[in-house]
Each structure stands twice: as structure tokens, then as C-alpha cells.
Amino acid sequence: MTMDLFEHSPPEPWAESLCEGAVVLRRFASVSGAELLAGIERVTAQAPFRQMRTPGGHIMSVAMTCCGDWGWVTDARGYRYQHQDPVSGDPWPAMPEVFRTLAVEAATKAGYDDFEPDSCLINRYSPGARMGLHQDKNEDDFGQPIVSVSLGAPAIFQFGGLRRGDRPQRVPLEHGDVVVWGGPARLRYHGVLTLKVADHPLTGACRYNLTFRRAR
Ligand code: MD3
Ligand code: FE
């Protein structure tokens, strides 16, 4: 009787705790996947994906762009948030409403009631792209959480400790998974292993990650 409904409805999200302060909301964004990808299209029409240079002179394998009041950039001068896209000189595109709503709902679900993101970094991983272990520490207030949304091809996330040398856990992330990091997890080292070749119905071989932050 409910067979058709069962086969065509997306799975209900479920929560998995990674450690104190970090929770994965499995498939939380899967119902909004197509709308979020349309939001990425809208942002990248104004601020195309680009591969930035690290202060050490390496070109990042992950292509990035931003929306919202503050965008994260890296170049020979260092890592920072800025109001303008350095490629166009224009302010970053506005954060699509569907982005903001999803991030605020996920933060609320994780127990952060007044998260107001002013920055969204959009990462695009093609096969072979990776992100080495790092901490997110360019934000002004580490009391604010970070919300991360995975879309498209699956990846393995590395979740380390407060010291670079702490052995990371491996956490597989799939389309629609949302992770909220705050409190004692906020400054943990983390990264993404080299993306494997995949074929996702909405994104082909690519993985996108939206990272929502309160930068200022
Ligand atoms: C864990 N992006 O853009 S976001 C980044 O999948 C970044 O593209 C990854 O790390 C990606 O900086 C993962 C998940 C994330 C963000 C902040 C964290 C994990 C975190 C802060 C503390 C611990
Ligand atoms: Fe990070």
C-alpha cells in the first residue's frame, strides 16, 4: 500500500554525533539539493569558480567562489575575508535565501539558536582534488559554529584533533549530508581526501561543499 511512497520519498534525515560539538545531519539537505545547485549556478554566473594560490605559492586543487557579505580568499598576501571578489572587484553575490535558510535550520537542529551566517564559501572538487588538514581560524569569533553542506559525488572527510599530529577519523560524506561544528570541535584540524571518480545524477563527477560561517 505504501510501496510507491516508500520508493519515491527521500530518506528522513538522521543525526550522528562525531564528538562533543560536532554532528552530522545525514541527508538533511537532500530535499533541497536541486535548489542549492541552482543557487550555485546563480552565484557562479557573477563570481566564477577559480583556483586560488596559497601564501606558499601552491595552486589549490579545489576551485572556489563565495557569496554573502564576506568571501574567503587566499593569495601571496595571505588568507583573509574580504567584501569584494578580487577577480571582478565587485562585492560578492548575495547569499541565496535557500542557502541561508538551510544553514540556519541545521544550526538550530544542532543546538545553535542564533547563527546568522555572513559568509558562504563554495568549494568544487573534481576527481583528484583534495584539501589538506587545516584549521579554520580566519573568523573573528570561534564561539560561532560552522555549517557545511555536501552535494554531489561522495568524499571522505578527515576529522582530526586540536593538534596537527592527532590521527584523524575518516567520515564518509554523501549528497545532502550537513555537518555542524562548534564548541570544543570548532578548532579541530580537518581535510578532505582525494576525490575519486564518480557519477552523481545531479553533478556528474563533481562534489560541491557549501561552508557557512560568521566571519565578522
Ligand atoms: C571541522 N571544507 O572550506 S567543510 C573549508 O568539504 C573546508 O570542502 C571542507 O574545510 C569541504 O575550510 C569541509 C567542514 C568543516 C569546516 C570547518 C570545521 C569541518 C570543520 C571546523 C572545525 C572542525
Ligand atoms: Fe576548513
Residue 8 is inside which H or E element, if any?
A: helix 3-8
pLDDT at 105: 98
pLDDT of residue 4: 64
According to the model, what pLDDT value does residue 9 have?
Answer: 76
Q: What is the per-residue pLDDT for 2? A: 57
- pLDDT number for residue 145: 98
pLDDT digits (tens, 9 = 90+) for 25-70: 999 999 999 999 999 999 999 999 999 999 999 999 999 999 999 9
Q: Which three cell numbers stand for residue 94?
A: 548575495
Residues with a CB atom less than 6 Å from ligand 1: 121, 123, 131, 136, 146, 148, 179, 181, 185-186, 188, 190, 192, 209, 211
User: How confident is the model at residue 136, as a pLDDT?
Assistant: 97
pTM of the model: 0.96
Distance of CA 2 from the midpoint of ligand 2 (Å):
42
Integer Cα distance of 50 and 63 in angstroms: 5
What is the chain's percent helix, strand, coil content, to nearest 5? 20, 35, 45
Structure-block grid coordinates of residue 148: 557545511
The amino acid present at 55, given as its one-letter code, is: P
Distance CA 13, CA 149 (A): 13
Ligand minimally distant from the alpha carbon of residue 125: 1
Domains of the chain listed by start with CATH number: 14-213 (2.60.120.590)
φ and ψ at 33, to 5 degrees? -50, -50
Ranges in the chain, pLDDT < 70: 1-7
Which own/partner contact pairs does 5-10 have at CB distance under 8 Å and 24+ positions apart?
A: 10/176
Which runs of consecutive H residues, i.e. helices, occur in 47-96? none
pLDDT at 58: 97
CA angle 117, 155, 167 (to 5 degrees): 90
Instruction: Using DSSP bridges, classify how beta strands 207-213 and 190-192 pair: parallel, antiparallel or unpaired.
Output: unpaired
Indicate the average pLDDT of the chain: 96
